[in-house]
Amino acid sequence: MRVKIALAGNPNSGKTTLFNALTGSNQFVGNWPGVTVEKKEGKIKGYTSKAEEAILVDLPGVYSLSPYTLEEVVSRNFLIGEKPDAIINIIDGTNLERNLYLTTQLTELGIPVIVAVNMMDLVRKNGEVLDIEKLGKDIGCKVVEISALRGEGIDQLAQRAVAIARGKKKNQPAHRFDGCVEHALAHIEEAIAGRVDESMERWYAVKLFERDEKVRESLDLDPALIRHIEEDIVSCETEMDDDAESIITGERYNYIGNIIEDCYKKRVKKTMSTSDKIDSIVTNRFLALPIFAAVMFLVYYVSVTTVGTLLTDWTNDTLFGAWIIPGAQSVLEAIGCAPWLTGLLVDGIISGVGAVLGFVPQMLVLFLFLAFLEECGYMARIAFIMDRIFRKFGLSGKSFIPMLIGTGCGVPGVMASRTIENDRDRKMTIMTTTFIPCGAKLPIIALIAGALFGGASWVAPSAYFVGIAAIICSGIILKKTKMFAGDPAPFVMELPAYHLPTVGNVLRSTWERGWSFIKKAGTIILLSTIFIWFAQSFGFEGGTFKMVENMENSILAAIGSGIAWIFTPLGWGNWKPAVAAITGLVAKENVVGTFGILYGFGEVAEDGAEIWGTLSGAMTQAAAYSFLVFNLLCAPCFAAMGAIKREMNNGKWFWFAIGYQTLLAYTVSLCVYQIGTWVSTGLFGAGTIVALILIAAFLWLLFRPYQENRMRKMSQNAAGEINA
Ligand code: GDP
Ligand code: MG
């Protein structure tokens, strides 16, 4: 018999670890219909034949089945709508009280439940004792102990889960609430009998007691019946002097308290665990930030400055530069390939994609570190530490992780925003993550610093400063608009105990991120390099359309000249920088290379040292810095735009994000150029006035008060939207 089993649990209870262990590589990742919450499905290992197979569906991590967050709605709709054959409820054994809250709700659904108490390795290490026989009796379902991380007990779990899914014995919740609540629930159950599946009567009754709007609507009860139910609820509320929803919450916690007393033995002497000891230093008020800065410095020192650079230089200069490119060139020439085709293959495709792949080794080193920090539990602390700071400008601490990853590449950065549950926080993070200079923008910074500022060491840090300032200002400005008003979601995140990660998990997550970057190189960058190569190699020369000798005659030059006027107020209204900015949309790696070609040097070093002289003659410092700022802030490369589109999952929001980024880039660059020119040369003109007006408007947007009233209303609407 083919069965479908849902995997449900709190965030950080070990769901992903268990899912990977149970399904191995038989996974499909997608999105839940209509929303960007990740949907993972896989086949449990060992049940491979078509008729026998057991599908495991990983539900979003939730703390309860109330209808308040997108994740809860998704999980609840799946459980009620699709009625899986069984539920594996994974709970964190070191945190029973909070985890059992969801369990008490799952057991009411009438679906067979098996509870997997995870992190048993830690429970034992802490010297705590759990009586699973009693626990099973108290909650009314099978319980097994596992350690997902070490793979202990998971085979037994899978066998039992499949067995109860095939058996389909309805689950009966073991708990009973206070007399008056049970009385009301019994009345409600009676009233709805026949309208809902018998095994789910209790769940519906509890929800109706809580006055859950969605459930009430879905049942389409007649008004007389609702009034009747309401009487029961109100009399219970009067008796217990509380509102219905809180009564149920309180009853659940009472019940959980009893269970814990019954079957859980804490160590008698309460000493601090190792993890707590580490935390008392690492998340200390004063030490947290310096320690974090030191860790990040180390990560960057190794992955960007030393090991990573060595690997990347080798890939660029030796692997591609000395072997693959010249090799391909001579092979193609030897077999008498047409010059245009050799050009396309070698100069277009291999060089273009090669330049991007050159970043892969460096990125893998960075991702390896990030995966390690994430797995061992430090990343969760970073989000927690950063939350104190990020909250001040309307972002959540979890926005920090996407931005950190974004310093490597915006694509996985934007994708990492999935870990942010709150919809507004997530959208804001997606919009601002790419402001942080990614690895591919570093050569542009090196070019401008080298050519126009004598290699001044302040230019590179200033680029990060511009990126961070753009994020902070955007956070504040957007938060004051109608779209984003409302309090940031409270920070709820379980801090997992520190532990040494397994090699497999670290490599898996490194590879997943690296692969998404490689795929980008293989698809979108491949197509766009072909287009750019074509546009710059062909054009009208001497009256005919052919492969041009002089790039000034190419199609690309024509496009550049056509749009160059747009950038005149920014100080670089010349077709060459305009073209470089366009190729930058394809991939930021292209900007320096394009300058090289346009200024008549076929091949330039990564920082374009060959063209520094030419470039310094062609641009003023103000114009060059304006060009740099524009490229840092404007719409990112096509691949990152693709990621934004996918994560927003909504055309309007996508265009809003791209439009906002480009408008901000244009405004800031204009101000940089106009004010810079005024300061350095004393020239004061119409452009300067426009810049001053723009700055005033920007400051107004930044410092105007929050709109309190509207804010409250909006957050209500937002909640309504999620429910709808
Ligand atoms: P999810 O948020 O529910 O998907 O949780 P994850 O699978 O990402 O796990 C959260 C953290 O707990 C990770 O750092 C895991 O390595 C760790 N973890 C998961 N299972 C166990 C376990 O059995 N023992 C220990 N010590 N750690 C675990
Ligand atoms: Mg997970």
Neighbours of ion ligand 2 (CB under 5 A): 16
In a domain, 210, yes or no: yes
Same domain membership, residue 198 and residue 148: no
pLDDT at residue 713, as a whole number: 42
- CB of 535 closer than 8 Å to CB of 590: no
Site to substitute for ligand 1 among 75, 149, 509, most atoms within 8 A of C-beta: 149
pLDDT at residue 304, as a whole number: 64
pLDDT for 73 beyond 90: no
Nearest by Cα to 303 from 374, 373, 363: 363
pLDDT digits over 412-470, tens only?
Answer: 788 778 767 677 888 999 999 999 988 788 888 888 888 889 878 888 889 989 999 99
What's the rounded Cα separation, in Å, for the pair 653 and 657?
A: 6
Same domain membership, residue 449 and residue 380: yes
Q: How far is the CA of 17 from the centre of ligand 1 (A)?
A: 6
Examine the fold and report which residue of 113, 147, 167 is the final residue of a domain before the chain moves on: 167
Q: How far is the CA of 171 from the centre of ligand 2 (A)?
A: 26
pLDDT digits over 19-40, tens only?
Answer: 999 998 777 777 777 776 778 8
What's the rounded Cα separation, in Å, for the pair 165 and 44?
A: 13
Examine the fold and report which residue of 134, 167, 200 is the final residue of a domain before the chain moves on: 167
Q: How far is the CA of 16 from the centre of ligand 2 (A)?
A: 4
- φ, ψ for residue 705, nearest 5 deg: -70, 155
Nearest by Cα to 718 from 422, 460, 436, 454: 422
pLDDT digits over 280-318, tens only?
Answer: 888 888 888 899 888 877 877 777 667 877 887 788 788
Nearest by Cα to 47 from 3, 89, 90: 3
**Residue 530, CB half-sphere, CA atoms under 13 Å: how many?**
8
In a domain, 715, yes or no: no
Q: Which atom of ligand 1 is nearest to the CA of 377?
A: 14
In a domain, 71, yes or no: yes
Q: Which residue has the higher pLDDT, 466 or 380?
A: 466
Same domain membership, residue 162 and residue 95: yes
Q: Which residues contact 549 (CB under 8 A, 6 or more apart)?
A: 541
What's the rounded Cα separation, in Å, for the pair 254 and 248?
A: 10
pLDDT for 394 beyond 80: no
Q: Which residues contact 431 (CB under 8 A, 6 or more apart)?
A: 474, 478, 644, 656, 657, 660, 661
Closest-lying ligand to the alpha carbon of 13?
A: 1
Which pLDDT band, with edges at 50, 70 and 90, does 716 fall under?
A: very low
pLDDT digits over 181-228, tens only?
Answer: 999 999 999 888 888 888 888 999 999 999 988 888 888 888 888 888
pLDDT digits over 226-279, tens only?
Answer: 888 899 999 999 988 888 888 898 889 889 988 988 888 876 555 677 888 888
Average pLDDT of span 523-544: 81
Same domain membership, residue 158 and residue 193: no
H or E stretch including 170?
none
Secondary structure of residue 214 in the 3-state scheme:
helix
Same domain membership, residue 204 and residue 123: no
Say which range, 53-62, 121-130, 686-695, has the weakest mean pLDDT.
121-130
Nearest by Cα to 113 from 134, 144, 77: 144
Same domain membership, residue 530 and residue 420: yes
In a domain, 441, yes or no: yes
Q: How far is the CA of 136 from the centre of ligand 1 (A)?
A: 23
- CB of 637 closer than 8 Å to CB of 585: yes
* Structural domain that includes position 107: 3-167
In a domain, 685, yes or no: yes
Same domain membership, residue 117 and residue 97: yes
pLDDT for 68 beyond 80: no
In a domain, 275, yes or no: no
In a domain, 112, yes or no: yes
pLDDT at residue 186, as a whole number: 92
For residue 385, the Cα-to-chain-centroid distance in whole angstroms is 18
Domain count, the chain: 3
Which pLDDT band, with edges at 50, 70 and 90, does 493 fall under?
A: low
What's the rounded Cα separation, in Å, for the pair 530 and 559?
A: 16
Nearest by Cα to 75 from 138, 15, 18: 15
pLDDT digits over 2-18, tens only?
Answer: 899 999 999 889 998 99
pLDDT at residue 444, as a whole number: 87
Which pLDDT band, with edges at 50, 70 and 90, does 653 fall under?
A: very high
Q: Is the CB of 11 under 6 A from ligand 1?
A: yes
- Taken in order 318, 320, 326, 327, the sign of the CA dihedral is positive
pLDDT digits over 80-114, tens only?
Answer: 989 999 999 999 998 888 899 999 999 999 899 99
Examine the fold and report which residue of 167, 200, 217 is the final residue of a domain before the chain moves on: 167
Same domain membership, residue 309 and residue 251: no
Secondary structure of residue 389 in the 3-state scheme:
helix
Looking at the chain, the whole-number percentage of residues with pLDDT higher than 70 is 92
Q: Considering the entire predicted model, what is its pTM? A: 0.62
pLDDT at residue 676, as a whole number: 95
What's the rounded Cα separation, in Å, for the pair 366 and 360?
A: 10
pLDDT digits over 335-368, tens only?
Answer: 988 888 888 888 778 877 776 677 678 778 877 8
pLDDT for 504 beyond 90: no
What's the rounded Cα separation, in Å, for the pair 21 and 155?
A: 10
Average pLDDT of span 468-486: 86
Q: Which atom of ligand 1 is nearest to the CA of 120?
A: 23
What's the rounded Cα separation, in Å, for the pair 206 and 339?
A: 76
Same domain membership, residue 226 and residue 158: no
Q: Which atom of ligand 1 is nearest to the CA of 148?
A: 23
- At 472, list the tokens: 């902070």
pLDDT for 388 beyond 60: yes
pLDDT at residue 29, as a whole number: 74
Q: Where are the alpha helices (DSSP H) in 434-574?
A: 442-452, 459-479, 503-522, 524-537, 555-563
pLDDT for 488 beyond 90: no
Same domain membership, residue 557 and residue 655: yes
Site to substitute for ligand 1 among 7, 17, 29, 94, most atoms within 8 A of C-beta: 17
- CB of 107 closer than 8 Å to CB of 141: yes
Kindly report the CATH number assigned to the domain that includes residue 161. 3.40.50.300
Nearest CA residue ID for atom 21, ligand 1: 149
Q: Which atom of ligand 1 is nearest to the CA of 122?
A: 26
In a domain, 327, yes or no: yes
Same domain membership, residue 331 and residue 231: no
Nearest CA residue ID for atom 1, ligand 1: 12
Kindly report the CATH number assigned to the domain that includes residue 188. 1.10.287.1770
- At 448, list the tokens: 């401008």
Q: Which residue has the higher pLDDT, 327 or 642?
A: 327
- CB of 707 closer than 8 Å to CB of 485: yes
- CB of 470 closer than 8 Å to CB of 630: no
- CB of 307 closer than 8 Å to CB of 299: no
Rg (CA), the chain: 30
Closest-lying ligand to the alpha carbon of 375?
A: 1
pLDDT at residue 479, as a whole number: 85
pLDDT for 172 beyond 60: yes
**What is the distance in angstroms between the CA of the first residue and the CA of the last residue of the chain?**
36
Closest-lying ligand to the alpha carbon of 21?
A: 1
Kindly report the average pLDDT of the chain as a whole number.
84
Average pLDDT of span 650-678: 95
Q: Which atom of ligand 1 is nearest to the CA of 502?
A: 16
Which residue, chain included where needed, has tokens 């998971």?
154
What's the rounded Cα separation, in Å, for the pair 575 and 590?
A: 16
Same domain membership, residue 192 and residue 70: no
Q: Is the CB of 496 under 6 A from ligand 1?
A: yes
